[in-house]
Structure 1
Amino acid sequence: MPTWERPSPRVAELIRTGVEGLLAAPAATFDQIDAVTIANADPAVLADPTLVAAIRRTNRANLTHWAEANLRDPGAPVVPNVGPETLGIARDLVRRGLDTLTLDSYRTGQNASWRLWMATAFTLTSDPDELSELLDVTANSIFTFVDATIAAISEQVALERVRLRSGTHAERLEIVTLLVEGAPIHQDRASARLNYALDRRHVAAIVFSDRAEPDQVALEAAAEALAQAAGGRRPLIVIAGAAALWVWVSGEHALDPDVLRAALDALPEVRIALGPAAAGIEGFRRSHLDALDTQRLLQRTPGDARVATYDDVQVVALATHDEDRAQAFVERTLGPLASAAPELRDTLRTYLAEGSNAKRTAEVLFTHRNTIIKRLDRAQQLLPAPLEGRMLAVALALEITRWLGARGSA
């Protein structure tokens, strides 16, 4: 462990000033840490919105933990961060067989955080002696904190491996992962090992929570409600992480999302993303991948959006795999409307979806027709070009904004 030296009173004051600025900074300030961490992640991690969200929460939690400790006592040793965010991502990676990536992600986050802190440090003083001491003290603090946190998380990883070896979860997750990846597993053999018939029609779902430490009972209750809405057959449930279940239900019954929404009234922290119904092993796989796409967009919407189907988001999912280009398309197509009041965009989107009928738009939005007309006039004034001849592009841009939000709002 590096030799620990407490900072001089002047440098302690500079540290406190710097971390106060970090804690008050907008969320976008930390996007560069997320970008670097996620850019170096395994493709299996990037494909799962739950893991990506957990990485973002962990980055914020670690930086906030370190900053708050230095606000209380600048330059003092910082205890490891073993809160629900950091323990949750460790458990999730072990359950997916990706735990070897845990230490790498912490080191990547450490390096990105250090670059952010160095940029802050150079704004605090121009005195070379003060700057040298400031960087030495905080480098020692950050690197020692990350080392201690990694050691604590490593213990959690080892415990989680023991738990997995003692149950059937690891086997189910392994088989499901192979099926989703398209491995050539015989259908009957996989069905027997999962205790779930793969020769039927399936609807895949991701039952998840945005909380770092959700109520597992609530997640399981939502999965059972999903099975009831699909006709009552026994579902296949796989624990995909601390905050998500992968679920498949089979049968010929159409699954009514409104029934699910009613069931979730008693489970306020749970959300469900649904894939389309499809048959056989390929349907099992395809429905799950589409449910993941649905979850990716559902997580970007406000928490009152509780259930979404792939039919709801299919066009947007296809149009937003490159989100930067999708947002550029939105801004070109909508102009100032892209950042205007949300009710203007929602009114124009509904108007186009209702065949440009103002009366039906008013009925759908439960708003007086005169108010609808005023909003439509204002929305069209904000468009960079007339709506006529551009309805399809404008409708798509509005739908993208509905799910992704305006630039910088996610």
Structure 2
Amino acid sequence: MKDDWETPSPRAREVIRKGAEQALDPKAEWLDELFDAVRHASGTSPAHVDPVLEDGARRANLSNLLHWAAANIQRPGARVSANLSPELLESVRDMVRRDLDEKALDIWRLGQNVAWRRWMEICFGLTSDAGVLHEVLALTSRSIYTFIDDTIDAVSEVMRQERRELSQGTHSERLTTVSLILEGAPVSRSSAESRLGYHLTGSHLAAIIWGNDVTGDQLEQAAEQVLAAAGTARRLTLLATGSSMWLWLPVSTAPRTEDLEAGLAAVPAVRVALGRPRSDLDGFRQSHLEAAAVQRMMARLGTSRRAGGYTDAQLVALLSQDVGRADEFVADTLGELACADPVLHLTLRTYLDQQCNAARVAERLYTHRNTVVRRLARCDELLPRPLAHDPVSVGAALHLLSWSGPKE
């Protein structure tokens, strides 16, 4: 680290210290802006198609911000050492496991641009002295950009070391093979089967298992629950990141998500997304892409459900691409019903699923038909428009609500 670092004046040091104290406790809108700038930037999508990588990027950017701020509280204006925090390194290792290279670290430069704009707002609010402000901004501009450069340099070496370690085992070969299949590249079936140790003929059901701050043992425990629910002992397993696992099971029928929900009660932090059983090499790919769509949907909506299958969630996955507009659709369509007793939601959703047959609803919900009729009448009172005017929209809104939870 070079020694030619300018020492700020006492007044500039005080402004930097006070500003860093504010940055160390960032407002929620600052963090949203910081992450959205990265997530929506062109060329960064490979690091964000997976909710686990997305969460890792969020943690890494927050870690960079807090590391720089904490350093400037202790030594205002001094050069900040590279950030090698556990949160950041775990995110980096996940990138390597997903075959991303050092170019993926450019997302941090996008984050630094947002942080710089917010930092200038803080500084302008702390002093009106033009001379002090000029000194503070000149020094901290260099500080922030140098800090990110130093961190990227240090982390790049960590990535190279991690890549060397992975290349010594079978993980790299299996990941490369699976990535080629998922990209639709021409792959020799026999060669792929040899590398994966898994037959690519017949039916395949893909599952994605993940969670925040979960251990490998928890992922494995959840995988065993998926196997038990699917009625098989055979699987192909790929550790996608430190907190997510990809599975393929040679079965032609998907397990019921209700059964998985019960089985996953012992590992509540873990979530499971399922595709549909598909055939042969293309089915191997399609089932995983379906599971990935369900995973993204569950992460977007922050659902409390532990398991989701593509068959049940396909409509919701499509409708929830824009969460804000989806919430608006639910509110406009359901009105006061959106905040009503979830029993009413379940009754009306089941009524629509059962082709508006109250007797079948009573049978499915193990209740009296008259109770069903009373609940349906109450739903009609709460809806902004009678159910008969647009049952399709009401049904879609109820399915969205069943995944995202009641609105307050």
Return the TM-score normalized by structure 1. 0.83
- What is the distance in 1 between the residues matched to 2:362 and 2:27? 40
- What is the distance in 2 between the residues matched to 1:386 and 1:28? 38
CA shift digits 1:204-234 (9 cap, x unpaired): 11111212xx312222232233223322332
Q: Is the 8 A contact 1:352 1:391 kept in 2?
A: no
Change (3 A) 1:23 1:330: farther
Aligned counterpart, 1:51: 53
Q: Is residue 355 of structure 2 the alignment partner of residue 354 of structure 1? A: no
Which sections of structure 1, spanning at least 5 residues, go unmatched? none
Report the CA distance between 1:118 and its aligned residue. Answer: 1.8
Q: How does 1:312-391 map to 2 (within 5 A)?
A: 312-323=312-323, 325-330=325-330, 332-334=332-334, 341=339, 344=340, 346-355=342-351, 385-391=385-391
Change (3 A) 1:388 1:184: same
CA shift digits 1:267-315 (9 cap, x unpaired): 3432211111111112111110111111112224557422222223210
Q: For residue 355 of structure 1, what is the amino acid of its counterpart? A: Y
Secondary structure of residue in 2 paired with 1:205? strand
Q: Is the 8 A contact 2:204 2:279 kept in 1?
A: yes
- What is the distance in 1 between the residues matched to 2:384 and 2:17? 47
Report the CA distance between 1:348 and its aligned residue. Answer: 4.9
Q: Is residue 265 of structure 2 the alignment partner of residue 265 of structure 1? A: yes
Q: Is the 8 A contact 2:182 2:285 kept in 1?
A: yes
Q: Is residue 92 of structure 2 the alignment partner of residue 90 of structure 1? A: yes
Q: For residue 128 of structure 1, what is the amino acid of its counterpart? A: A
Aligned counterpart, 1:78: 80
Change (3 A) 1:406 1:74: farther
Q: For residue 271 of structure 1, what is the amino acid of its counterpart? A: R
Change (3 A) 1:405 1:17: farther
- What is the distance in 2 between the residues matched to 1:240 and 1:334? 39
Report the CA distance between 1:254 and its aligned residue. Answer: 4.4
Report the CA distance between 1:70 and its aligned residue. Answer: 2.8
Report the CA distance between 1:194 and its aligned residue. Answer: 1.1
Aligned counterpart, 1:119: 121
Report the CA distance between 1:130 and its aligned residue. Answer: 2.3
Query: Percent same amino acid among aligned pairs?
Result: 40
- What is the distance in 2 between the residues matched to 1:135 and 1:118? 7
Match of 1:159 among 153, 161, 166: 161
Return the TM-score normalized by structure 2. 0.84
- What is the distance in 2 between the residues matched to 1:333 and 1:393? 7
Aligned counterpart, 1:181: 183
CA shift digits 1:29-82 (9 cap, x unpaired): 222222221223444333322222221221122212222333444333333222
Residue correspondences, number: 396
- What is the distance in 1 between the residues matched to 2:341 and 2:106? 42
Change (3 A) 1:133 1:388: farther
Aligned counterpart, 1:3: 4
- What is the distance in 2 between the residues matched to 1:16 and 1:336? 49
Secondary structure of residue in 2 paired with 1:287? helix
Q: Is the 8 A contact 1:122 1:131 kept in 2?
A: yes
Q: Is residue 7 of structure 2 the alignment partner of residue 13 of structure 1? A: no
Change (3 A) 1:302 1:329: closer
- What is the distance in 1 between the residues matched to 2:6 and 2:387? 66
Change (3 A) 1:267 1:320: closer
Aligned counterpart, 2:355: none
Q: Rg larger in 1 or in 2?
A: 2
- What is the distance in 1 between the residues matched to 2:341 and 2:56? 31
